[in-house]
Amino acid sequence: MKLFSRQTPVFRNCINGQWLAARSGKIFEDRNPADTREIVGLFPSSGSADVNHAVSAAKEAFRFWSLVPAPKRGLILYEIGRALTQRKEELAELMTREMGKVLEEARGDIQEAVDMAFYAAGEGRRLFGDTTPSELPDKFCLSVRRPVGVCAIITPWNFPMAVPSWKIFAALMCGNSMVFKPSEDAPATGTRLVEIMQDCGVPSGVINLVHGDGTVGRALVAHPDVNLVSFTGSCAAGREIAQVCGKHLKKHSLELGGKNAQIVMDDADLKLAMEGALWGAFGTSGQRCTATSRLILHKKIKQKFLRQWIPAIKKLSVGNGLAEGVQVGPIVNQAQMERVKSYVRIGLKEGARLLTGGKPATSGELRYGHFFEPTVFDRVTPSMRIAQEEIFGPVVGVLETESLEEAIEILNGTSYGLSSSIYTRNVNQAFKAIRDLDAGITYVNGPTIGAEVHLPFGGIKNTGNGHREGGRTVFDIFTEWKAAYIDYSQKLQRAQIDT
Ligand code: NAD
């Protein structure tokens, strides 16, 4: 791959339809994690002046956008879905260059946004409310949805198109305006999304884009004219956001970390379970909120499973996600590399046994990027830190179980509750798992990753604060319910009194 073969592109914020540099003139670099010699682009390092400008544009735009009929808003979303489909290849390549996931997965990330565009577009002719009888005669009751107002959309780098689309398309459909702050580790894909939205007819000011790091996110969260914060990212940032929003009684939806596990029972189709674990643990180099980071194996099949699974891991091809045949791309940045390394040290210190991996991959061209070997620890016990804390890298801990009940207890024994999986051929065990696993998602005979946009997505415990993106539930985040009572009795009727 050629490096520095052209001028490094300069990207801008988008405020009220105008493409602008940061008021301060400051910039930051976005580098390719597969080859850090390549600068993908230069981006505005925004500050509170840019945030204020963007929020005031969104506030102004909300006045008219909220009054546009929902089916018309939906038509724009159909256009966006079509444009994303047409540009899938180019967008996927950009995504791989800026955050590293392999090209096939990057295409999937764009496809998820296409699915979300069409799903949200269809909601233009639904956005259903309820009608219900009144307890009083000659009185009519209904409930309707209203948009919330100006939304701050703050997103992580690991799904740079899909995660913003879950939020932005739903918010747009419901009649909100917004300020979008993509991750500083994947700002180019977010910029292309906003360009496409503009080209497809989203009016100026309805979607504004402000680049920068967490300080920009903080300024948005604290802004008095931001009515809703929709955030996906780490628990640490989510906790901070919740505190600020709590103080100002601001609506906020948080999608945070995970410590997901796959259970494999002794009656499972082992080949299927191994394939699932490979994809769940090492897809996106383990950098998914739903990644499999614990494998809970039934004692009776554990040795057989590991004997066949470890050689398959050793065969995984680690490298630049743009290259044909590569299965595991880089870690997103140096800080995350250090975090992964530190967890390997912690695992060894805690007494877990390293079965494979455990160190950076540095052969040949890999030395220019942040690559880490797919890593498996055996003899992990539930209380170890590597079994409790989110690592966010290609590292899996294997735990042993003798029964379904024990497996469920182990799986439930962390502070997170996002995704879970069980491999079994026994329908009774499958339904018990669906009932008893403390997680927002349970897969039966599938890995912990692979959500579809029309189902609720999110988790319990420290994974979030009770909202669900995706599915019809996402429209509850981006609307407020209003109850309306129409009394046509022509007299005062008092609820609960004149019964
Ligand atoms: P991060 O929390 O570091 O950053 C996420 C975004 O928030 C970025 O845009 C960042 O600039 C901004 N930010 C950081 N601190 C902030 C603050 N105090 N106030 C406002 N904004 C702030 O997370 P990341 O490293 O980009 O992403 C990885 C994390 O995201 C993992 O924990 C992963 O599990 C989680 N994640 C969760 C889901 C989900 O749906 N539950 C999906 C993807 C990723």
pLDDT tens sequence across 415-472: 999 999 999 999 999 999 999 999 999 999 999 999 999 999 999 999 999 999 999 9
- Most ligand 1 atoms within 8 A of CB, residue of 183, 243, 415, 465 to mutate: 183
pLDDT tens sequence across 38-90: 999 999 999 999 999 999 999 999 999 999 999 999 999 999 999 999 999 99
CA dihedral (184, 190, 194, 196) positive or negative? positive
Which ligand 1 atom is the nearest neighbour of the CA of 258? 34
| Cα 130 to averaged position of ligand 1 atoms, centre (Å) | 35
Token pair 């001028």: residue: 7
| Cα 156 to averaged position of ligand 1 atoms, centre (Å) | 4
Dihedral, 409, 412, 414, 415 alpha carbons, nearest 10: -140
CB-based contacts of 133, cutoff 8 Å, min separation 6: 141
Query: What's the rounded mean pLDDT across residues 134-160?
Result: 98
Which residues form the pocket of ligand 1, taking CB atoms under 6 Å from any ligand atom? 154-159, 163, 181, 183-184, 213-214, 217-218, 221, 232-234, 237, 240-241, 255-258, 289, 390, 392, 418, 463
Q: What is the pTM of this model?
A: 0.97
CB 309 within 8 A of CB 274: yes
Q: What is the pLDDT of residue 6?
A: 58
How many angstroms separate the CA atoms of 44 and 26, rounded? 6
Q: What is the largest CA-CA distance in the chain?
A: 85
How many angstroms separate the CA atoms of 297 and 410, rounded? 11
**Does the structure show a pLDDT above 70 at 137?**
yes
- Most ligand 1 atoms within 8 A of CB, residue of 28, 184, 232 to mutate: 232
User: Catalytic site residue 255?
Assistant: yes
Q: What percent of the chain is modeled with pLDDT above 70?
A: 99
Residue 312 to residues 33, 252, 378, 469: CA-CA distances in angstroms? 25, 42, 16, 34
pLDDT tens sequence across 249-286: 999 999 999 999 999 999 999 999 999 999 999 999 99
Q: Which of 38, 123, 289, 373 is catalytic?
A: 289
Token pair 């690559």: residue: 371
| Cα 488 to averaged position of ligand 1 atoms, centre (Å) | 51
User: Catalytic site residue 245?
Assistant: no
| Cα 288 to averaged position of ligand 1 atoms, centre (Å) | 11
> How many angstroms separate the first and last alpha carbons of the chain?
78
Query: In 3D, which of 313, 309, 327 has the Cα closest to residue 270?
Result: 309
Please report the domains of the chain, with CATH numbers, ordered by start residue.
Answer: 13-256+464-482 (3.40.605.10), 260-444 (3.40.309.10)
Beta-bridge partners for 297: 264, 400
Q: What is the pLDDT of residue 499?
A: 77
CB 239 within 8 A of CB 221: no
| Cα 180 to averaged position of ligand 1 atoms, centre (Å) | 13
Q: What is the pLDDT of residue 4?
A: 45
Q: With bands split at pLDDT 50, 70 and 90, how would you rate the model's confidence at 3?
A: very low
